[in-house]
């Protein structure tokens, strides 16, 4: 049986101590594979990253190599324009590539690392690029097409991302692009006891508190509500360190909240272990992103918890929310405020959406994602699962 090896971004943490999306996806897929009767997965992890590690996959450690951000941000794009190999990318992924070369032929799921298709082209590994975000943004089309040409397949987490990826990879690579949506841990994220609604409706945001996530839009929408009507809970930090000093954006949000007529509370980053219980305390989950998120794991986690999800109509979010949530115009406080007002005044709608969300999540768990991914991996790999 051929083994599946995941690669995550160098210096990312395969640990429940972080909220990073890619390790969460890897953990979900690895657990689902075993539950479906397939072989246990492995994941390649830089050795100094956080512990404890998720126990869902075998860990292959390697010593990382720091590469100047200037090299990767400025020198590499300049080299690429002249069809010269990117030195920063080769150095950055070098230790990871060395670790993979020491492994027997495997299916390598390269998460957000399209360069690995080219760097491993002379091995017997089948490299499948797993795109969670837009790929190769500093690459010209011809350079991107060449880099991706050795890939066995390219998996995208939404149809929206797949369309953008097909436009990048060139006509020869378009048939390699497949869509496999993210799942959700429907066993961990479950509904809690119904909250008493004597107080204000509690609307929660969970995620990185950065401009792209649109928390300011939520706070501006809340200005149309009184303290007895709405309570906003903002959970998260700019990064995954709750002790880090506030950024200018975070400070600006606090100033905005101080002028709000609604209740607003800020809480620091919460790791994966505490998130299910936290979501059970909310009446509504809000995902007010202004950038085209390819998917959005938090959307599925809110649906699984059985609470209404209000999210921006942007990127792959409409695919993730399905028929079980409410979509609003991004960067539009009036539209978001009107939707929250509708939920506030219609408790029965909240209950119906909560039930529909739970049903949607149960049908789109990580086993569903793994089965769809397995179909992609089986293409041209008859030995997989034998």
Tens-digit pLDDT profile for residues 231-262: 999 999 998 888 889 999 999 999 999 999 99
- Give the predicted TM-score (pTM) of the model: 0.94
Residue 198 DSSP code: S
What would the pLDDT profile of 105-129 be if each residue is shown by its tens digit? Answer: 999 999 999 999 999 999 999 999 9
Average pLDDT over the chain, rounded to an integer:
93
Contact between 279 and 236 under an 8 Å Cβ cutoff? The reply is no
Please spell the DSSP secondary structure of 260-284, one letter per residue: -SSEEEEE----GGGHHHHHTT-SE
Predicted pLDDT of residue 82:
72
Contact between 376 and 156 under an 8 Å Cβ cutoff? The reply is no
Q: What angle do CA 17, 137, 316 make, to 5 degrees?
A: 60
Predicted pLDDT of residue 379:
43
E-strand spans in the chain?
3-7, 42-46, 58-62, 106-111, 126-131, 153-156, 177-179, 201-206, 230-235, 263-267, 284-287, 309-312, 326-328
As assigned by CATH, the class of the 201-363 domain is alpha beta
Residue (of 375, 175, 212, 381) closest to 293 by Cα position = 212
Query: Could you give the angle at which helices 141-148 and 159-169 cross, rounded to 10 degrees?
Result: 100
What is the rounded average pLDDT of the residues 32-42?
Answer: 96
Side-chain half-sphere of 290: how many Cα atoms within 13 Å? 13
Predicted pLDDT of residue 385:
41
Residue 332 DSSP code: -
Residue (of 9, 12, 45, 16) closest to 185 by Cα position = 16
How buried is residue 269: exposed, middle or buried, by Cβ count under 10 Å (0-12/13-18/19+)? buried
Which residue ranges does the chain devote to CATH 3.40.50.2000?
A: 3-183+366-378, 201-363
99-113, 183-197, 224-238, range with the lowest pLDDT: 183-197
Predicted pLDDT of residue 196:
65
Contact between 4 and 42 under an 8 Å Cβ cutoff? The reply is yes
CATH number of 3-183+366-378: 3.40.50.2000
What is the distance, to the nearest Å, from the Cα of residue 38 to the centroid of all Cα atoms in its chain? 24
């Amino acid at each position: 049986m051929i083994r599946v090896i995941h690669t995550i971004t160098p210096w990312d943490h395969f640990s429940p101590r972080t909220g990073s999306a890619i390790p969460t996806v890897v953990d979900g897929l690895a657990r689902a594979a075993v539950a479906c009767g397939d072989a246990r997965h492995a994941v390649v992890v830089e050795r100094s990253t956080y512990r404890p590690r998720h126990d869902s996959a075998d860990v292959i450690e390697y010593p990382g190599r720091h590469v100047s951000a200037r090299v990767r941000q400025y020198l590499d794009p300049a080299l690429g324009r002249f069809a010269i190999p990117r030195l920063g990318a080769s150095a950055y992924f070098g230790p990871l590539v060395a670790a993979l070369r020491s492994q027997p032929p495997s299916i390598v799921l390269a998460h957000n690392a399209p360069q690995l298709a080219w760097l491993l082209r002379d091995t017997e590994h089948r490299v499948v690029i797993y795109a969670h975000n837009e790929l190769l943004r500093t690459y010209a089309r011809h350079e991107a097409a060449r880099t991706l040409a050795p890939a066995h397949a390219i998996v995208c987490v939404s149809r929206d991302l797949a369309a953008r990826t097909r436009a990048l990879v060139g006509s020869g690579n378009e048939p390699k692009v497949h869509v496999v949506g993210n799942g959700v841990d429907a066993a961990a994220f479950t509904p809690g006891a119904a909250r008493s609604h004597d107080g204000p409706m509690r609307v929660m945001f969970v995620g990185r508190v950065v401009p792209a996530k649109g928390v300011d839009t939520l706070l501006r929408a809340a200005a149309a509500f009184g303290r007895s009507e709405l309570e906003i809970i903002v959970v998260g930090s700019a990064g995954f360190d709750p002790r880090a000093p506030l950024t200018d954006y975070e400070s600006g949000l606090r100033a905005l909240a101080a002028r709000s007529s609604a209740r607003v509370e800020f809480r620091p980053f919460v790791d994966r272990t505490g998130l299910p219980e936290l979501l059970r305390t909310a009446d509504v989950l809000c995902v007010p992103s202004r950038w085209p998120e390819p998917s959005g794991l938090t959307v599925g986690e809110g649906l699984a918890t059985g609470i209404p999800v209000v999210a921006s109509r942007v990127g792959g979010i409409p695919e993730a929310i399905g028929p079980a949530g409410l979509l609003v115009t991004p960067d539009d406080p009036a539209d978001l405020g009107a939707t929250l007002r509708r939920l506030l005044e219609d408790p029965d709608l909240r209950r119906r959406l909560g039930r529909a969300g739970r049903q949607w999540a149960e049908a789109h768990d990580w086993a569903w994602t793994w089965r769809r991914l397995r179909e992609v991996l089986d293409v041209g790999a008859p030995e997989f699962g034998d």
